[in-house]
Amino acid sequence: MPTFSYTQLFTFTERVFRRIGCPEADATLATETLLSADLRGIDSHGVARLMGYVRLWEAGRINATPRVGITYETPSTAVVDGDGGLGLVVGPKAMRIAIEKAQQVGSGWVSVKNSNHFGIAGYHAMLPLAHDMIGIAMTNASPLVAPTYSLDRLLGTNPIAVAVPAGEQPDFVADMATTTAANGKLEIAQRKGTPLPEGWAQTADGQPSTDANAVKNGGALLPLGGATGSHKGYALGSIVDIFSAVLSGANYGPWVPPFVAFLQPSANPVGQGLGHFFGAMRVDAFRPADEFKAHMDNWIATFRSAQAVEGKKVLIPGDPEREMAAHRLLDGIPLLDAVVKDLEGVGAKFGVKL
């Protein structure tokens, strides 16, 4: 599997975003947001998706020069209109608004409409950490998920991410889809030609399937929780959809526009674009930040030292991604041959060498 340095991929991706018309600052921000996924080992949401954003732009569904602005606000809340921009740009700008509000009144809550796919939720949730704040990020997504007992695809993978600052210990960062697996993992399985684990997907008639193309063939992804607990994942995904879209005025449920450009958005949308939800909470609005972080260190150390089953170790949310980022910054980022081929195609289109 070919390996590329972070710098090499950053330069290439930034140039592609510039070629589609993004201002320099937005191109840099979009690249940083996108490549955070590759660094953290979430390969399904990194440069493997660059072609997808380009195709959306070619289809006129992404505005490369959005005027991201607040349409409604109170001291602690806001609705942000992404003006059809890259979610990779709209998301960080909306989280900055949440951070600014938290700095003023203790917490900031921002719901976003008229945006697009924003990369990994964890990147956005981690932005408040530098300000001694807890960060929360959610987004709805293309409807590929069947609610419990349903054949209809009504929800997206709808991730939730929460980042909590610590002191001497690494920060706590939980970033997860509300499905058994994110759709990007199906895409990886398709590229590799490998079957899915049981419990990830169902066929068009509701039967369990390990076929990586099950969703493409009319099936659906399954909510987190599997055969006996999917109602919990269904509820979590519903919460994300409501906070991100019903609250902001974005499209929700089956009306969320698909990420792939070859599928058209609903002819009768109930809102604008897809939606996100961000929160930032100042730790010192609850207790002194140093005191809190010392206790977070103790919490993390306690869980990390828990007695583990043989051959395993107890992890803290964020451990695998943090270790992967350190490794890939030094040794490079491996890309599947199919992804490299896609990137070379994008490069040829815009005269940018990988």
Span 209-223, pLDDT tens digits:
999 999 989 999 999
pLDDT at residue 227, rounded to an integer: 79
Distance between CA atoms of 263 and 35, rounded to whole angstroms?
25
240-278 per-position pLDDT tens digit: 999 999 999 999 999 999 998 888 999 999 999 999 999
pLDDT confidence of residue 49: 95
Give the alpha-carbon dihedral of 189, 195, 199, 200, to 10 degrees.
20
Model confidence over 67-108: pLDDT tens digits? 999 999 999 999 999 999 999 999 999 999 999 999 999 999
What confidence tens digit (pLDDT) does each residue in 286-345 have? 999 999 999 999 999 999 999 999 999 999 999 999 999 999 999 999 999 999 999 999
Sign of CA dihedral 186, 188, 191, 194: negative
SS3 label, residue 313: coil
Q: Span 188-206, mean pLDDT?
A: 90
User: Which two structure tokens, joined as six digits, stand for 242?
Assistant: 């409501």
Position 183 scores a pLDDT of: 78
Task: Give whole-number Cα distances, 337 to 1, 46, 192, 340, in Å.
Answer: 7, 15, 10, 5
CA distance 36 to 42: 8
- Cβ neighbors of 144 (< 8 A, separation 6 or more) are 153, 155, 156, 157, 183, 215, 220, 221
pTM comes to: 0.95
Q: Give dist(CA 349, CA 352) in Å, integer.
A: 8
Look at the block and give the residue holding tokens 């938290």: 102
- Sequence-distant (≥ 6) Cβ neighbours of residue 248 within 8 angstroms: 79, 80, 111, 112, 113, 271, 275, 276, 277
At 27, the pLDDT band (50, 70, 90 cuts) reads very high
Across-strand partners of 172?
164
> One-letter amino acid identity for 263?
L
Q: Which amino acid is at 80?
A: V
d(CA 11, CA 199): 39
136: helix, coil or strand?
Answer: strand
Residues 222, 157: Cα–Cα separation, whole Å: 9
Q: Write down the pLDDT at residue 86.
A: 98
Split at pLDDT 50, 70, 90, the class of 43 is very high
CB distance 332 to 3 below 8 Å: yes
